[in-house]
Amino acid sequence: MNASPAASDALTALLAFWHEAGVEDCYEAAPVDRTRETAPPPRAARPASAPPQTTGTVTPLRPTPSGIGATEALADAVARARAAARTAESLESLTDAIRAFDGCPLSGMGARQAVVWRGEATAPVMIVGEGPGAEEDARGLPFVGKAGQLLDRMLKAAGLDGRVMITNTVFWRPPGNRTPTADEQAVCAPFVARALELVKPKLVLTVGAAAARAVLHTSEGITRLRGNWGEWHLAEGGVSAPVMPTLHPAFLLRQPQAKAMVWADLLELAARLDGDDSKSPH
Ligand code: URA
């Protein structure tokens, strides 16, 4: 393609603007696995009037713009996630079910793979973050980038090393590391809830505003929520656990003076974990 210098400069400026705004990925309406791509089919293979091909009977969530169709697609995706999560009897089979699940719009937005959990499968503390970032997307494990390394250091200092299971509210990296939407979290929620049932932690730590809101079903700001115990009640099965919301370690990397608050929250959680049975939920 031969673009004029002016058009080329305009395109470069536009791309720089998008990059500055956090747009790092380009994706199409449907996911394309480039690792399996072969030569394109001949143009005449599908008549122009033929409907686009779909796989199975999946109701697409993302291409539906808004309104009743979008609500139905969301309800369908949540129902399918619930059914898939229910069949999992271990974190391993839950991980397989998540990897096989195609109902979360994020899985078609450029994420390399599903990022599910790390840590101890029977840990007394379950940590829920917001969603995988670039490093997590590349390695397939939650909280392994700079923020995760800071979290690990703080957990170790609070005596929680080796006593945590770490996951997120969504399992695919949101494009440009944006915050996951409430719909994206709702589709993944049945899997996160099943993880709570399988791990049976004594306590839960949420990190960041989006995780606290999703787990506690509130629109309250994180500065009010953090440091105060809440309760995570699952809709089905009567399972619940006390929740300590705290700030996100990525925020601490930008605002190190806020570390004192997170430190206080971790010490509160560790004290309750190691305290007497009257403080224990089980
Ligand atoms: N931030 C999160 O919320 N989760 C991760 O896994 C990584 C960074």
Find the CATH number of the domain harbouring 271: 3.40.470.10
Cα–ligand 1 centroid distance for 93 (angstroms): 22
Q: What is the mean pLDDT of residues 64-70?
A: 63
Predicted confidence band of residue 58 (pLDDT cuts 50, 70, 90): very low
Pocket lining: 249 vs ligand 1, CB cutoff 6 Å:
no
Q: Say if 270 falls within a structural domain.
A: yes
- The predicted structure's pLDDT at residue 9: 75
Q: Cα–Cα distance between 141 and 135 in angstroms, integer?
A: 8
- Ligand 1, residues 143, 150, 178: which to mutate, most atoms within 8 A of Cβ? 143
Q: Say if 36 falls within a structural domain.
A: no
Cα–ligand 1 centroid distance for 143 (angstroms): 5
Instruction: Say if strands 240-246 and 125-129 run parallel, antiparallel, or are unpaired.
Output: unpaired
Distances from the Cα of 25 to the Cα of 19, 22, 32, 114, 137, angstroms: 9, 9, 13, 17, 13
Cα–ligand 1 centroid distance for 68 (angstroms): 32
Query: pTM for the complete prediction?
Result: 0.77
Cβ pair 77, 188 in contact under 8 A: no
Q: Say if 94 falls within a structural domain.
A: yes
Taking only the tens place, the pLDDT of each residue in 216-250 is: 999 999 999 999 999 999 988 789 999 999 999 99
Q: What is the mean pLDDT of residues 84-94?
A: 98
- Owning domain of residue 114: 68-279
Question: What does the block give as tokens for 270?
Answer: 């560790």
Length reported for the chain: 282
Q: What is the mean pLDDT of residues 153-180?
A: 97
229-240 exposure pattern, b = at least 16 Cβ within 10 A, e = fewer: ebebebeeeeee
Q: Say if 27 falls within a structural domain.
A: no
Q: What is the mean pLDDT of residues 98-107?
A: 97
Q: Say if 228 falls within a structural domain.
A: yes
Q: Say if 50 falls within a structural domain.
A: no
CA angle 12, 17, 18 (to 5 degrees): 100
For residue 190, pLDDT over 70 is answered with yes
Q: Say if 176 falls within a structural domain.
A: yes
Number of domains in the chain: 1
Cβ pair 220, 245 in contact under 8 A: no
Diameter over CA atoms, the chain: 74
Cβ pair 270, 160 in contact under 8 A: yes
